Amino acid sequence: MIGVAEAAAQIVALGASLHARRLTHGRTGNLSVRTSGGVLITPTGGSLDALAPDALALVDPDDRRHVSGPPPSKEAFLHLAVYRARPSCEAVVHLHSTHAVALSCHAGTDSADALPPLTAYYAMRVGRLPVLPFHAPGDVRLEPVIEEAARDVHALLLANHGSVAAAADLVAAADVAEEIEETARLWFLLHGHPTRPLSPAQTACLAVPASRTGGPA
């Protein structure tokens, strides 16, 4: 488990990178890291391209108490639910990236598994991607739904909202979120065309390592 200062530097750098590459926009999305001092998370109302190490919120994961910094994201409960469900997970990335959100709005999306395994990297980094029922952003009624689902998977799609990715560190969690976005983009590009996803036998040899996803995938 890393220290607060190191986690803050990682969050600031990743937030700027995600925003610059249009994987988030405006004041959407939030990032968190479990540290030795608590869960460090981006503040409410903040843009990921304008974060500062001393302007992140620190939350106690046990009693949800706001320890220091500005008010945390209104979706902090989402991150804490994932950490409870996946004790080995150390980071969570929640994005509103364009193609992942489009997929979450698509009427034909399979709620049990939103995307087929189109590529080896998707199979390795994501695996199964369930879609959770719609809740308004900040609606705490989503919390038990997230916690239950995250016990079985480390990647989730929130209906008409965006993706949630958890992993053993922030870089790995971002890799998962980016793989969801890129595979959703591929899915839309291929929509209506004959498509050859990986077979069950091919995906079986590409299982996501538990050490990277903070628990069973």
> Taking Cα atoms as reference points, which of 143, 210, 170 lies closest to residue 34?
170
- Provide the annotated active-site residues: 75, 121
> Taking Cα atoms as reference points, which of 103, 81, 100 lies closest to residue 32?
81
User: Per the structure block, which two tokens stand in for 163?
Assistant: 């993706």
DSSP state of 2: B
Largest Cα separation within the chain, whole Å, is 53
Distance in angstroms (rounded) separating the CA atoms of residues 13 and 15: 6
Between vectors from CA 19 to CA 28 and to CA 186, what angle results, nearest 5°? 90
| Contact criterion met (CB below 8 Å) for 191 and 105 | no
| Local structure of 171: helix, strand or coil | helix
Distance in angstroms (rounded) separating the CA atoms of residues 217 and 215: 6
Distance in angstroms (rounded) separating the CA atoms of residues 130 and 103: 12
> Taking Cα atoms as reference points, which of 83, 87, 181 lies closest to residue 125?
181
What count of Cα atoms within 13 Å lies in the side-chain half-sphere of residue 87?
1
